[in-house]
Amino acid sequence: MARKMGFYAVLAYVLYGFLVYWYLFYLADTSLPFEYQGSKADPATFMDGRELMLSEEYSKVRNLLFFLSAPLEWLIYFLILLTGLSKAFKKWGKDTTKNKYGRVAIYVIWLSFFSYLATFPLSYISYNLSRTYNISTQTFASWMKDELIDFWINYGMMLVIVAVLYLLIKKSRRFWWMFAWLLSIPFTLFIMFVQPILIDPLYNDFYPLKDKELETKILELASRAEIPSEHVFEVNMAEKTNSLNAYVTGIGSNSRIVLWDTTLNRLNDDQILFIMAHEMAHYVEKHLYIGIAGYLLLSLVGLYLTARLMNWLISRWGNEFKIKDPGDLASLPLFLMILSMLAFASSPLSNFVSRYQEARADRYAIEMTDNPEAAITSFQELSKAGLSQVNPPLLVKIFRYGHPTMLERISRLEEYEVQKRNNDS
């Protein structure tokens, strides 16, 4: 039975991959609606022929990799259960040490290592793709360094989470999901608080903005937005990417404004000020805290559904999965698989809310800077630097885009520009 389930799971993944490929490469229409052709949102007006071709090619492959990655994760966890690997990981921990937390540590390291190796080919293809299209400038050694940092940070957090989670399951079979959710609140806030000062510097060097004249302009903008910030930070991303970015990160006293050096190198001051005003809007309108509240609400529902689904699946296919009850550490791949599926299923909703917030931030930024030309050209440069599709396929927008499409963003700015011109005349 387990062999048959594994075969059908692999077959389903292969068929799913072909369907996604067919949709992205043959069915989806990314052409610009007639009414936008020739407008400033038309990529033909700010990209040359080669850039247009590369953006379509790169976006299609990148979107394909995105849609393949999450189901591949589910398949790996499913096969780890069916093949008895999860049970073996647990046995290795039990044979190695008598300490129950040591056993958890050994189990989690084996599961993390095996999962990483199984997904590594897709990760490498994604890295190599970005190198091929000159999005990434990162050497393989530098990329592997970041991958290893990711691995150990994720391992450390998972070790804590798993140890607490299975302790709760054993203490309360009915309400462990509620206790786990309550503990996740301070844990999430703590991670967000320490990320700018402890986690982010592991990947890149952060230092005060060198251009003091630009820093003064940004801090003046922050003062108008009533954002308590004394410094703007610059991060050295040029050695890793040609993409552009800027953001406001952290919570409480650790909040900071960050600019990628690629953004500083490619955009002028007016364009940067628009982008910074956009990021400041998230702070002003409390989008970060709304996002935290939304995440916590979704995680509550997700943990409840995960608990119910785990009980049902184990009662029905426990023998095939080689697990007897949810409190068995060997059930962790099932827990992770269900949680990942629910996160993927909820992504259209979270992306919809995010796109609404991003549209609000665009509106705030243009009203604060009152420079539609700088705003439009900044989005055009962002599209060129990232080889982004201006009008992506519908499913890509629903599942991938936490921002409005560039077609939507630039066309709205054009409308504002027309209104401003009419008001001035």
Convert 232-242 to b/e letters by CB count within 10 Å (16 or more is b).
bbbbebeebbb
Q: Could you tell me the two tokens for 158?
A: 């998972």
Cα 29 to Cα 155, 249, 411, distances in angstroms: 41, 36, 19
The conformation of residue 241, written as its DSSP 8-state character, comes to B
Q: Could you tell me the two tokens for 296?
A: 């916590």
> Which residues sit in the known binding site for Zn(2+)?
278, 282, 358
410, HSE (Cβ side, Cα atoms, 13 Å): 27
Kindly report the three-state secondary structure assignment for every residue of 38-77: CCCCCHHHCCCHHHHHHHHHHHHHHHHHHHHHHHHHHHHH
Angstrom distance (rounded) from CA 320 to CA 187 = 34
Query: How many other CB atoms sit within 10 Å of the CB of residue 282?
Result: 20
Q: Could you tell me the two tokens for 123?
A: 């990760």
Residue bearing tokens 């993390």: 112
- Crossing angle of helices 332-369 and 49-82, in 10° steps, is 150
Residue bearing tokens 């490929």: 21
- Residue 257 is which amino acid? I
Q: Could you tell me the two tokens for 345?
A: 């299923």
| Cα angle: 93, vertex 310, 297; to 5 degrees | 105
> Which residues sit in the known binding site?
278, 282, 358
The residues annotated with a catalytic role in the active site are 279, 362
